[in-house]
A and B are shown apart, each in its own frame.
Chain A
Amino acid sequence: MGFFWTIVTLVVALGIAWRYLGSYMAAVFDGRVRWLGWVERPIYRALGTSPEREQSWKRYAAALLVFSAVSILFTYLMLRLQGSLPLDPQHLGAVPPALAWNTAVSFVTNTNWQNYGGETTLSYLSQMTLVVQQFVSPAVGIAVAIALVRGLTRRDASTVGNFWVDVTRCMLYILLPVAFLAGIVYVGQGGVQTLAGPAHVHDALNGVTQTIARGPIAFMEAIKQLGTNGGGFLNANSATPFENPTALTNWLSIFLLLCIPFSLTYTFGKMAGSRRQGAALLTAMALIFGAWVGFTSYAEHQANPAVAAAGLPHQPTGNMEGKEVRFGDTSSALFGVASTQTSTGSADAAYDSFTPMGGFGLITGMMLGEVSPGGTGSGLYTILLFAIVAVFIGGLMIGRTPEYLGKKIQAHEVKLAGLGILIMPIAVLALTAVAVSVHAGRAGPLNAGPHGFSEILYAFTSQANNNGSAFAGLSGDTAFYNVLGGIAMLLGRFAVIVPVLALAGALGAKNVVPAGLGTFRTDNAMFVGLVIGAIMLVGALTFFPAISLGPIVEQLSHGRFF
């Protein structure tokens, strides 16, 4: 019953966010929101730009790529130099080069894959440097999505917006205020926020002494979820009580990581002048998400096979291995699905210890391409790629040139959409194949048997989708996994963003064809079905063989342990 009301309250809260955050975001990117103008204007002056100076898609993409490269370099240097910089109360030395590379790429690409244990590797200043990217990287993703929407909705246009302005507005007007308010709630519930260094405690009752890691945790937690980042201060992420102290903060985390990706469909509809267009994409996202929540929480409510075989077959509270008592089985599964399908990758439980079908729910959620609802910005632009493929298929069926929002979809656009969709599966499957073929890759997994393969497959699925969650038994902090993972994350981010911006440019240059009787409608149930069909078909065709070797074999191995 509790789980039912958890879902109901989330749906209500997300519905309100969809309507109001969605229209607020549209206003922000139209330049109609100005309450922080006194901060905004000096930034534009320092940058030597202004909202009136728009860029072609090529300049927009070039600015994005240069800015991201500079961000990676800056983050890398800060991690390498942390031993010589202030705010390092535990006197942690420099982060090794391969790990610093992986971490810098990870946070700049909105992945937040973590090959390090936060509390034993990073100084407070390094954590704060990563928080910078937790604001920047979602803003970059949202900017790309907005540029694509502009391409779809403008006519005969040569520009798609101003990258610097879009990113600045997103960080100032959307991410900063929401994250700051949420941070206060996290602290009120028990989240830690201090610069005072670790606490030393002694319990006179049992004689235990502990040195407890602390830090500026709670406010990082807020932007970690809101920006679908996922990288927490502490190694065990949202499972730790200092990051996620209560069931209420668990609910808040799920809300925060879903609110922007879902609401962007409203923003899209508003900018396109038709709320129904946004609602159609929202419906496709929500149906997939709902189905996965049902499946995965059912799976996690089942008994853990190893615990059952050890002599405890009756597990009324579900699979509790790797889960926290205050959250319980189904809420942890809901968190897991929300986190894997939004490219967040935060974890309030050990995903590695989920039941075989629970783990299947998590990894396949990412394999669908992070569209339900996907990451901040990346979810919207990826589902728009699928929408273009869907109208293309629909057009083939009825023998007409396909259109989307009145824009003719021709060979060039379909090629770009196809490229953007196929980069991720190619990266995942190729890199997984490399990893299982060489010794350095096979040395990684903690678990034996099919679960060991799942750990490797999960790692590259997560990184190429810029998700960042893990089957964390994998020892990822090796030169092999650090370097290969970095490549997966770069491909999954920028090899998708560039085709998306090219698509924005190509669509923006087109005129709008008025809708006629024969126009294929893109705001009804038929279209929602086609979009879901396209997503499922691509995901199933590319990944079914690989997923069979992991969770499916594991599920079918009744009575066998590895």
Chain B
Amino acid sequence: MLNHLRRSAVLTVVCFVVFGLAYALAGTGVAQVLFPHQANGSLTANGSTLIGQNWAATRWFHGRPDDFGPYAADPKKGISGGDNPLVANGVKGESGATNLGPRSKTLLEDTRILISWWHAHGVDPTTDLVTTSGSGYDPDISPASAFAQIPMVAKYSGVDPAELHRLIAKQVHGPQLGFLGSAYVDVLQLNEALAAAERAGR
């Protein structure tokens, strides 16, 4: 028994040094040398291309409604909102889904609000424009969701719909290696492209 205890203590210390400290430090070292951009969070001038943001203004393409409408951050109700890796717009939170079940009244009502919001802005919404993501900050939307938003973005930004169509088509990432996962558009990259096109057009 004492022998077991002594060996357990020794192996715990060894494992902590090897798999706790050395593994993480060596991994961080290799990562920072080989892929510093990715290892630090794929950060660009306007945020991370891997973290969704709340595009409240109608002149921009919107992402998943993780931090929008009925799902917006609200300190009073204790809702941290999505698009909220740790702190966003002053509200503290963490990644997470709504966890609303498939027969949830709340989900039904929230989705109704979102659908009528899109209709009021001239958009015929796709599924991923009225459903929230698993992480709460999905940076992507489907290509169909981007094309669907053209009437709204054209109206409020003043950019020609045909030009928007061209911008989106350039931003579509196909399924990886041709067959893995779904095609998507990164919303931050799409809006950055839109801003660049507007600057060039002026």
Contact = CB atoms under 8 A, between A and B. Distances in A.
B14 interface: yes
Given A66-B8, A328-B181, A312 B125 contact: yes
6 contacts: A118-B94, A212-B86, A247-B180, A306-B100, A317-B142, A472-B96
B158 interface: no
A2 B131 contact: no
Contact of A317 (B35, B102, B182, B192): B182
B162 interface: no
Query: Which 6 residue pairs of A and B lie closest in terms of their CB atoms, listed nearest first?
Result: A247-B181, A239-B134, A350-B97, A219-B27, A473-B99, A310-B111
A510 interface: no
Interface string A289-328: 0000000000000001111011110011111111111111
Given A74-B12, A193-B27, A326-B184, 11 more contacts: A71-B12, A119-B95, A241-B137, A242-B51, A306-B108, A310-B115, A317-B128, A327-B181, A353-B99, A450-B103, A454-B101
Contact of B95 (A223, A236, A305, A325): A236
A324 B134 contact: yes
A199 B43 contact: yes
Interface string B1-37: 1011111111110111011110110111011101100
B175 interface: yes
Contact of A472 (B99, B112, B140, B141): B99
B47 A210 contact: yes
A69 B51 CA distance: 39
B131 A164 contact: no
Interface residues of B, number: 105
A203 B182 contact: no
A67 interface: yes
Nearest to B29: A193
Given A322-B98, A328-B182, A562-B104, A246 B48 contact: no
Most buried by A among B10, B40, B141, B182: B182
Interface string A166-202: 0110010000100110011001111111111011011
A211 B115 contact: no
B15 A135 contact: yes
A321 B8 contact: no
A314 to B, nearest CB: 9
Contacts of A355: 102
Contacts of A117: 94-96
A562 B103 CA distance: 6
B177 A447 contact: no
B79 interface: no
Contact of A321 (B30, B50, B107): B107
A49 interface: yes
B7 A47 contact: yes
A403 interface: no
Interface in B121-156: 125-128, 130-142
Interface in A41-89: 43, 46-49, 62-63, 66-67, 69-71, 74
A129 interface: yes
A242 B41 contact: yes
A182 B191 CA distance: 33
Contact of B64 (A9, A214, A325): A325
Contacts of B54: 206, 208
A2 B142 contact: no
A269 B104 CA distance: 48
Contact of B134 (A190, A204, A212, A349): A349
Interface in B48-106: 48, 50-51, 53-57, 60, 64, 83-89, 92-105
B40 A6 contact: no
Interface stretch (A98-106, A486-494, A553-561): A553-561
Given A193-B27, A310-B112, A562 B105 contact: yes
